[in-house]
Amino acid sequence: MIHALVRELTINGIAPSYIEQVSDTLTYIGFCKPGTKTDNDSKWCIKKVEQIGAITQTTFAEGSTSFNLQWSQRTNYGYTFRI
């Protein structure tokens, strides 16, 4: 269910580049700036979607929608609601 919903979302007009469904309850969504060449470029915005019971929670890496993170580091960031 989560996977189908996230395809329609954008951040600043940019559609998701990566959608990683880790489990039935956890999905990471990566948005990158045009011209991004690798997962290690600091040009990503990363969203985490978790299903917690009946609640679907959306948080952002480092609490930010800025495009300054690395997709390759997505599991190492702290996730909070948008600051």
Domain enclosing residue 7, as ranges: 2-80
Total Cβ atoms within 10 A of residue 8:
8
Measured in whole angstroms, the distance separating CA 6 from the mean position of its chain's CA atoms is 10
Number of domains in the chain: 1
pLDDT digits (tens, 9 = 90+) for 27-36: 999 999 999 9
Half-sphere exposure of 79 (CA within 13 A, CB side): 18
Record the pTM. Answer: 0.87
pLDDT digits (tens, 9 = 90+) for 3-55: 555 555 788 888 899 999 999 999 999 999 999 999 999 999 999 999 999 99
